Amino acid sequence: MSFLDLDLDLELQQQLIETGFTEPTAIQRQAIPAILDGQDLLATAPTGSGKTLAYLLPALQHLLDQPPREGASPRALVLAPTRELASQILRVAAPLCEALGLVCAQVVGGVPYGNQKQLLEDGMDLLVATPGRLLELDEKAWLDLSDASFAVVDEADRMLDLGFQDPLKAVASLLPLEHQTLMFSATLESDAIANLAGALLRPDAARIAVSEARAVAGHIDHAILRADNEAHKLALFKALITDPGIDQALVFVASRRQVEQWVAIVRDLGIMCDGLHGEMGQGERTLHIKQLRRGRLKVLIATDVASRGLDLARISHVINLNLPLKADTYVHRAGRAGRDGSAGTVWSIVDTPDWPKVGRIERYLKQALPRLTLKGLEPSKSEPQAPRKTKKPKSKTSGKAKSGKKATARGTASAKKPAGKRKTA
């Protein structure tokens, strides 16, 4: 199938050809026809699968099918959980909109209100926004979404992680009664996603899952390096970050304080480096990302604000100095390396306090993470063992004891099954 087989405007197809897009990806092949048919949609697709165009192309087609905009209200709205993702979406949309004679803009936090008031007064066809700032502008009576009949919630699972469930419902209440809503999420399995979909989507919404979301792309190598202590961890990191095979590296840490600490360490090695965290102003965050894209930085130290939404073509390596709390975030971090099918590498330096997260990630991925050692920097301690489950004491009542014994046996049998699956995976 090519984009020519999809029911898209010829002018839009021409823009795709000129920008090098010829064949739709799996998520695009399945999602675009359903969206063009006017269906609400709940979809999941792995990182780097072409998800953004899967909803942007129907959004642009929706705009082309409408009469010219008269008021200031956008007619299509894309909601993103972070400023970085909003900026990434706008980077994809802007050249297409310009070629089609459409206007797009973004509204995110960390930007002066006055500038955004002027944007909203001037009006646009497509608005990319974070929900928190959008509601702040609504409170000032600057926002008009009365014509926004096409709405997208991108990375819905991340929205929930950030506590945006109620803000999303509040934004939905500002849309016209008749509107189409799309939700994209890294997972469709949680009750929270189901509840959000029930609140935002029509009951007959289509559901699409193009592949197993719990996977690191096959072109990305990843491995665990065990660290005995902080000094050992530092030595391992210095050895890895000076590897000549690195084009650019994205290093993940747990907090703003650690960002500043590790930036200083990398700079002391004579490597151009900067940091990125959620408390940083939007202007500074944008500058650091631009510096990385222009090749003026080799290393970016970041919190999980950079785990999604950043499309940085030259990131060859991701290094985890702290594993994430949630196993699916590991997959998103890994997805920053090896963009567009190029080879990528993920190294995770794990000390003893962080070790329980390894098992959590392996259970999520249903595979063991490869172990890696560096000559001269091998760990002196043995690998920590997973804690054994303690048996519940038997009840004094014989009948209850038998019931408890059966339950324990069933629990043991069921616990063995996933391990068998991992061996065959």
Specify whether 63 is located in the same domain as 171. Answer: yes
pLDDT of residue 419: 37
Closest CA to 180 of 169, 172, 188, 191: 172
Q: Residue 382 falls within a domain, yes or no?
A: no
How many Cβ atoms sit within 10 Å of the Cβ of residue 121? 10
pLDDT of residue 132: 94
β-strands 41-44, 315-320 pairing: unpaired
Segments in 110-190 forming alpha helices (H): 113-122, 131-139, 156-161, 165-172
Token pair of 330 as six digits: 């590991």
Q: Are residues 142 and 112 in the same domain?
A: yes
Contacts of residue 273, defined as CB under 8 A and 6 or more positions apart, other chains included, come to 263, 266, 267, 297, 298, 299, 300, 301
Residues 14 and 138 in one domain: yes
pLDDT at 328: 80
Q: State the pLDDT at residue 421.
A: 35
Q: What pLDDT, on the 0 to 100 scale, is given for residue 296? A: 86
124 domain residue, yes or no: yes
Same domain for 355 and 285: yes
Angle at 150 between CA 149 and CA 156, to 5 degrees: 130
Whether residue 299 contacts residue 249, with contact meaning beta carbons closer than 8 Å, is answered with yes
Q: Which residue has tokens 């929706």?
A: 62
What is this structure's pTM? 0.64
Write the single-letter amino acid at 138.
Answer: D
Same domain, 36 and 179: yes
Q: How far, in whole angstroms, is CA 407 from its chain's centroid?
A: 39
Q: Which of 311, 337, 365 is the last residue of a domain?
A: 365
Amino acid occupying residue 22: T
Regarding beta strands 126-129 and 104-107, do their DSSP bridges make them parallel or antiparallel, or are they unpaired? parallel
- SS3 of residue 144 by DSSP: coil
Is residue 399 in some structural domain? no
The verdict on residue 76 lying in a domain is yes
What pLDDT was estimated at residue 7?
A: 85
Please name the residues in contact with 180: beta carbons below 8 A apart, sequence gap of 6 or more: 35, 38, 39, 40, 62, 149, 150, 151
Token pair, residue 154, equals 């991108």
Q: Judge whether 89 and 129 are in contact, CB under 8 Å.
A: no
User: In this structure, are 265 and 159 located in the same domain?
Assistant: no
For residue 97, list its beta bridge partners.
Answer: none
Check residue 340 and give its pLDDT: 60
Helix/strand/coil for 205? coil
Distance CA 106, CA 78 (A): 9
Cα angle, residue 334 at apex, residues 378 and 370 outer, rounded to 5°? 35
Report the CATH number that the domain containing residue 19 is assigned in CATH: 3.40.50.300
Q: How far apart are CA 352 and CA 230, in angstroms?
A: 10
Domain boundary among 157, 181, 209: 209
Separation CA 65–CA 59 (nearest Å):
10
For the chain, the domain total comes to 2
Q: One digit per residue, pLDDT tens: the chain, 425 residues?
A: 778 788 889 889 888 888 778 788 889 999 999 999 999 999 987 666 788 999 999 999 999 998 888 889 999 999 999 888 898 899 999 999 999 999 999 999 888 888 899 999 999 999 999 999 999 999 999 999 999 999 999 989 889 888 999 999 999 999 999 999 999 987 776 788 889 999 999 999 999 987 655 666 667 888 999 999 999 999 999 999 999 999 999 999 988 889 999 999 999 999 999 988 877 776 777 788 888 888 888 999 988 876 665 667 788 899 999 999 888 888 888 878 876 656 789 999 999 889 999 999 998 888 889 999 999 999 998 887 755 555 555 544 444 444 444 333 333 333 333 333 333 33
Is 423 a member of any domain? no
Please indicate, yes or no, whether residues 303 and 198 belong to a single structural domain of this protein.
no
For residues 117 and 144, membership in a common domain is answered with: yes
DSSP classification of residue 145:
-
Cα–Cα distance measured from residue 210 to residue 31, given in angstroms and rounded to the nearest whole number: 9
- Residue 393: predicted pLDDT: 55
Asked if 17 and 137 sit in the same domain, the reply is yes
In a domain, 384, yes or no: no
Output the pLDDT for position 344. Answer: 85
Q: Could you say which of 174, 209, 244 is where a domain stops?
A: 209
* Whether residues 350 and 276 fall in one domain: yes
Residues 256 and 260: their CA atoms lie apart, in Å, by 7
Six-digit token string for 235 = 């030595």
Domain residues for the domain of 157 are 3-209
Question: Quick check: 154 and 186 in contact, CB under 8 A?
Answer: no
Quick one: 10 and 122 in the same domain?
Answer: yes
What integer pLDDT is reported at residue 281 of this predicted model? 72
Q: How many CB atoms lie within 10 A of CB 230?
A: 9
Residues 129 and 256 in one domain: no
pLDDT digits (tens, 9 = 90+) for 383-417: 877 555 555 555 444 444 444 443 333 333 333 33
- In a domain, residue 107? The reply is yes
In a domain, 401, yes or no: no
Report how far Cα 77 is from the mean position of its chain's Cα atoms: 19
**Residue 390: its pLDDT value, please?**
52
The Cα–Cα gap between 241 and 248 comes to 10
Query: Cβ neighbours of residue 408 under 8 Å, at least 6 residues apart?
Result: 391, 392
